[in-house]
Amino acid sequence: MVNPEKRIAELRENILDADYKYYVLDEPDLDDYAYDMMMKELEALEKEYPLLVTPDSPTQRVSGKATQKFTEAVHKVPMLSLSNSYNFDDLLDFDKRVKSLLGDEPYEYICELKFDGLAVSLVFEKGYLIRGSTRGDGTKGDDVTGNLKTIRSIPLRVKSDTFRNFEVRGEVFIKKDDFLRINEEQENLGEKLFSNPRNTAAGTLKQKDSRKVAARPLNIFTYYLRDENASLSTHGENLKILKELRFPVNSHWKKVKDIDGVKKYCDSIEEIRDGLPYEIDGVVVKVNSLAQQEFLGSAGKSPRWAIAYKFKAKEKTTRINGITLQVGRTGTITPVAELEPVFLAGSTISRATLHNFEEIRRKDIREKDFVKIEKGGDVIPKVTGVVLSDRPKDSRPFPEPSKCPVCGTKLEKPEEEVYIYCPNYFCPAQIQGRIEHFVWRDAMDIEGLGGSIIAVLLEKGFIKDFADIYSLKEKRAELLKVDRFGAKSVDNMLQAIENSKEKQFDRVLFAIGIKHIGERTAKLIAKHFGSIDRLAEATEEEIDDIYEIGPAIAKSVCDFFRDAKSKELIKKLRKAGLKFEIDESEKQEVNEKFAGKVFVLTGTLQKYSRNKAEEIIEKLGGRTSSSVSKKTDYVLAGADAGSKLEKAKKLGVRILSESDFEEMMK
Ligand code: IVH
């Protein structure tokens, strides 16, 4: 028998090591399966030996409970902000001031990227991360330790004899492509879009539920180290130490000997800015020597030893030739500005989304208006405002459409939503959109079936919906007669269609495009119900009961399965051989009486340990919680149950004895 303590330590070491290689070095050396197995083993051991759970265990990255309110975190040393400069003359002034204050002393600068995210502080004691907080007003921020722990590139413990009690600061951010993906999900869910990666990161850090934070890909770059007991000499050294301690440090920093070097650095970064996978809004210049930094001190809230050189947001003025309306796969009508093409920050821009009609009204954007287009290293060009002085005399506000531009059906606007919808399921734009979604990389992943091919297939009557894709192989000969459909590309496409039949049930569920069902929701639902037949029979209440799933999703799922058209589609797909249940290995023996129910355990049970009982409940599809509330379905009470039992009685929650529990399991 292996010593559990030893095995736990070994697993943690291996997992933290794998996290470091994956998230910091970007050189993964383990496959997902091996990683998951280690995590599962560790979880099982910790469940068995709860006393061995420590806060630095990788299992503790996501805590099980939502905080009601963040507590205040006072910064030992204030978190300053930087004074900004927008042109090179400002930088020269900064350098002059540094030079005159330092007298004859030589000095150097460290140049770094200015990441467009949120500053956070990480406090370590005895080598362990004990607190993580936001900058707040500089003096005190919010304690968001639980949320920051979900960032797997942050070490929960450092191995060092020198550095034990110290503070690290850095910038939390979201990568550009993750931002686009999150917004796509938000759109699918009919939820508000984030305006940029920075706001997405900020919104995520403020989440009360760290499980939701963990689902969002937050990253961090660290750029500050303070340790009263270590002899630290320069900022450049600190960056190297941070890297050795396994913190993520961006590699673009550079030591330069004078302001000319700074200028060269700024120019070189502006060149590569658009190609970086994360957003930056400038460069930060810092005096390298920490002694000199201290000597220079600060003026108000900004240090005299550092300055930010901000890139100008690239902006141009161009004309809106017209506003067109796009119809999404769920019928959403999106207004799009068709622009007189302009070259801006590396690409030609001829269209920009105007999001919705509230946005058009708010900014009073009209056809033929001259507008300012901004691209700040940003992913999406924005229309920031109208040049009113150039507005044509006969200009009229852009009217909200009443009919679908594609099929002419009367549009609808659900209460409390900003979007307008075309309710016609057979609207050609929706049909095309649904098929595009179905074949999309993250759904059925059918390569070679892009938008224009789908359009041709629809137009020539080869397909009417996405289920028809699976009968294309019977029409190979006719397909080859279509202009520009070569034998090779047709065969590749047919093969990709065949291969897609191997996709797991949750992907299929996502691909069929039920309104509000994103990838993550599809996974949760697939796992919970196990098969489409069980899902189709589920009531709104049962779906709503799944943790993390709300009433809007539940209603949408039920609406979908009530619809005869959906039944017909599923029938066709089933015939084609798609997976409509989860694989045997993923199956849980879900018990109707347990499915979706919340249990609270209290007191001592005779036959089961607390862990064993929890395991049984979860295996049968239930959930456990540690506190009794109105959401609790059952309290399983053993001997000497105390306050939880009292509370359950007060709230009228059903109380189970151990034998009731066994009865339920049957
Ligand atoms: S150093 C006084 N380094 O810019 C030192 N800050 O206006 C300030 N920021 O709150 C921190 N990249 O959110 C530093 N490489 C970098 C930075 C950086 C982005 C942000 C940070 C800070 C703000 C200061």
Reported as a pLDDT band with limits 50, 70 and 90, residue 376 is low
Residue nearest to atom 9 of ligand 1 (CA): 114
pLDDT computed for residue 180 by the predictor? 85
The b/e string for 158-196 (b: 16+ C-beta within 10 A; e otherwise) is bebeebeebbbbbbbbbbbebbeebbebebbbbeebbeb
pLDDT computed for residue 414 by the predictor? 87
pLDDT single digits (tens) 93-137: 999 999 999 998 999 999 999 999 999 999 999 999 999 999 998
Give the chain's mean pLDDT.
Answer: 90
How far apart CA 666 and CA 568 sit, in angstroms, is 36
In three-state secondary structure terms, 77 is coil
Does 346 have pLDDT greater than 60? yes
Mean pLDDT of 520-531: 87
pLDDT computed for residue 282 by the predictor? 93
pLDDT computed for residue 586 by the predictor? 67
Statement: 505-588 belongs to CATH 1.10.150.20? yes
Does 377 have pLDDT greater than 70? no
Q: 317 vs 310, 383, 386, CA distance in Å?
A: 21, 9, 9
Distance of CA 165 from the midpoint of ligand 1 (Å): 22
Ligand 1 contact via 80 beta carbon (within 6 Å):
yes
Distance of CA 80 from the midpoint of ligand 1 (Å): 8
pLDDT single digits (tens) 224-233: 999 988 899 9
Among the listed ranges 150-159, 306-315, 409-418, 585-594, which one has the minimum average pLDDT value?
585-594
Residue nearest to atom 23 of ligand 1 (CA): 81
Using the 8-state DSSP alphabet, how is residue 311 labeled? P
Strands 302-303 and 140-142, by their bridges, are unpaired
Does 476 have pLDDT greater than 80? yes
Answer CATH for 4-60 from 1.10.3720.10, 3.40.109.10, 2.60.120.380, 1.10.287.610: 1.10.287.610
How many helices (DSSP H) and strands (DSSP E) are in the chain?
24, 22
Among the listed ranges 307-316, 422-431, 612-621, which one has the minimum average pLDDT value?
612-621
400: amino acid identity, one letter: E
Ligand 1 contact via 223 beta carbon (within 6 Å):
yes
Ligand 1 contact via 115 beta carbon (within 6 Å):
yes
Ligand 1 contact via 116 beta carbon (within 6 Å):
no
Q: CA 127, 18, 66: angle at the middle one, nearest 5?
A: 65
Does 195 have pLDDT greater than 80? no
Reported as a pLDDT band with limits 50, 70 and 90, residue 215 is confident
CATH architecture of 428-502: Orthogonal Bundle (1.10)
Question: How many Cα atoms sit within 13 Å of 543 on the Cβ side?
Answer: 24
Ligand 1 contact via 81 beta carbon (within 6 Å):
yes
Q: Which of 79, 114, 167, 283 to mutate to test the pocket of ligand 1 (most atoms within 8 A of CB)?
A: 114
CATH superfamily of 598-665: BRCT domain (3.40.50.10190)
In three-state secondary structure terms, 636 is strand
Reported as a pLDDT band with limits 50, 70 and 90, residue 345 is low
Q: Where are the domains of the chain?
A: 4-60, 84-310, 315-423, 428-502, 505-588, 598-665
CATH superfamily of 315-423: Nucleic acid-binding proteins (2.40.50.140)
H helices present in 150-193, as ranges: 176-188
Q: Which atom from ligand 1 is nearest to the alpha carbon of 302?
A: 2
Ligand 1 contact via 306 beta carbon (within 6 Å):
yes
pLDDT computed for residue 456 by the predictor? 94
To the nearest whole percent, how much of the chain has pLDDT over 70? 96
Does 524 have pLDDT greater than 60? yes
Distance of CA 222 from the midpoint of ligand 1 (Å): 10
Ligand 1 contact via 303 beta carbon (within 6 Å):
yes
Q: Which of 82, 135, 251, 280 to mutate to test the pocket of ligand 1 (most atoms within 8 A of CB)?
A: 82
Ligand 1 contact via 119 beta carbon (within 6 Å):
yes
Identify the residue with better confidence: 229 or 471. Answer: 471
Q: Which atom from ligand 1 is nearest to the alpha carbon of 119?
A: 13
Mean pLDDT of 576-601: 83
Answer CATH for 84-310 from 3.60.15.10, 3.90.550.10, 3.30.470.30, 3.30.70.260: 3.30.470.30
Does 66 have pLDDT greater than 80? no
Reported as a pLDDT band with limits 50, 70 and 90, residue 563 is very high
How far apart CA 639 and CA 657 sit, in angstroms, is 9
Distance of CA 628 from the midpoint of ligand 1 (Å): 43
Distance of CA 223 from the midpoint of ligand 1 (Å): 8
Mean pLDDT of 394-416: 94
pLDDT single digits (tens) 626-663: 778 888 899 999 888 888 888 899 989 999 999 999 99
Mean pLDDT of 60-83: 85
Does 327 have pLDDT greater than 90? yes
Fold match flag (4-60 vs 428-502): no
Which residues sit opposite 343 in a β-bridge?
Answer: 348
In three-state secondary structure terms, 435 is helix
pLDDT single digits (tens) 14-54: 999 999 998 998 888 888 888 888 999 999 999 899 889 98
Does 210 have pLDDT greater than 90? no
- C-beta of residue 621 within 8 angstroms of C-beta of residue 595: yes
Q: Which atom from ligand 1 is nearest to the alpha carbon of 308?
A: 7
In three-state secondary structure terms, 283 is strand
pLDDT computed for residue 500 by the predictor? 96
Ligand 1 contact via 202 beta carbon (within 6 Å):
no
Distance of CA 202 from the midpoint of ligand 1 (Å): 15
Packing angle of the helix pair 428-439, 451-459 (nearest 10 deg): 130
Residues 6+ apart with CB under 8 A from 638: 601, 602, 603, 604, 605, 606, 658
Q: Which residues are catalytic?
A: 114
Distance of CA 83 from the midpoint of ligand 1 (Å): 10
- C-beta of residue 174 within 8 angstroms of C-beta of residue 182: yes
pLDDT single digits (tens) 135-176: 998 999 999 999 999 999 999 999 999 999 999 999 999 998
